[in-house]
Amino acid sequence: MTTFVSGMRQRVEEIDFLRCVLILLMITFHIVYIGDTYGVAKQFVYTFHMPAFLLVSGYLCNTSKGAKAFLRAMMWIFIPYLVMEAGYVVMASLLPIREHIDNLTLPLLLEKLFLHPLGPYWYLHTWVLCSVVYFLAMRLPRIPKWARLLAAVVGCLVMGFCGLVSIPNALYFMAGAVLRQYGVPFLRAFYPAWWAILPVVIIAFMPSQLDRATIGGMAIVYFMTCFLLSLYRFLGKGLRRPLLLIGRNTLLLLLFSPIFTALSKLYQPFFVGFDPSGIVFCIVTVTLATLGSLAIGYLSDILRISPLFFGKDKVVV
């Protein structure tokens, strides 16, 4: 996942920071104990964190690449997705988790891999499918840009009606793509402002609006993005560096953090025993998941596994 904007060679650090916050929230609420203990907080975070991720993904999707380069980039997202999703499905057939599969068969495995992902890897599946549809639509000849974008939206809607993607998720991706195509700077569309938290607080007291598909949910996505971006300028250089590293390498955390959140059940009783709030348990698990995912990336680079798994010499950026 890159944070370069078309026509710009410099990374937009605020976007990397935003992605860092979003991925850490994702890991936090993938911890079952935290999600169960703080159900309202989970519902609130789920209203905006993955929609905002998809907005950013649509904005950063570079359709100006040649077909070969673009499809190669998508392939090297899809291959790690296939490996990790297959592992997750097999694990779900062996362990007593919420998404347990009683009778795993090859057709069921293929369905989960290509049609209806199980577990946390749905985002990568949606990202690849929407990106390909968007890329193909922007290659349609002899029609204006708005018509190509409309074709991309229609394509995403068709996938939604076929059950391949969630329609709201696909539309968030396309909203980011529209901003990109019309050259709207991300920080102009989502102006960093601390006061953006105020309407969020008001909407948060309306439980029916804590859904990404509602008007209130869309407002939460917008204003939370503006608010989170506003926090970046308050960070010192010493704190920015590790947070930006995380933001640049969200793919690694998307792929590997579920391993660590699953393993956290092994030591959960120890931490919850003296801290029933789960705060210490959460901090330890998120830290281990983050450092562990980055460590896997570094080891892949050192052992020269990255070209085989990610299609590049260095996966950590």
pLDDT at 280: 98
Which amino acid does the sequence have at 279? Answer: I
pLDDT at 6: 44
pLDDT at 2: 45
- CA 132 to CA 155: how far, in whole Å? 10
Chunked mean pLDDT (size 10), the chain, 317 residues:
48 95 97 96 97 98 94 96 94 81 91 92 97 97 96 98 96 98 96 98 96 97 98 94 97 96 94 96 98 98 96 94
- CA 124 to CA 85: how far, in whole Å? 10
Report phi then psi at 144, rounded to 5.
-70, 165
pLDDT at 10: 67
Can you give the residue ranges of every domain in the chain? 13-309
Tokens of 91: 């694990």
- CA 47 to CA 24: how far, in whole Å? 15
CA 122 to chain centre: 9
Tokens of 35: 């999600």
- CA 243 to CA 180: how far, in whole Å? 25
pLDDT at 1: 46
3 state SS for the chain: CCCCCCCCCCCCHHHHHHHHHHHHHHHHHHCHHHHHHCHHHHHHHHHHHHHHHHHHHHHHCCCCCCHHHHHHHHHHHHHHHHHHHHHHHHHHHHCCCCCCCCCCCHHHHHHHHHCCCCHHHHHHHHHHHHHHHHHHHCCCCCCCHHHHHHHHHHHHHHHHHCCCCCHHHHHHHHHHHHHHHCCCCHHHHCCCCHHHHHHHHHHHCCHHHCCCCCHHHHHHHHHHHHHHHHHHHHCCHHHHHHHHHHHHCHHHHHHHHHHHHHHHHHCHHHHHHHCCCCHHHHHHHHHHHHHHHHHHHHHHHHCCCHHHHCCCCCCCC
pLDDT at 92: 87
First-last CA distance in the chain:
10
Residues 6+ apart with CB under 8 A from 234: none
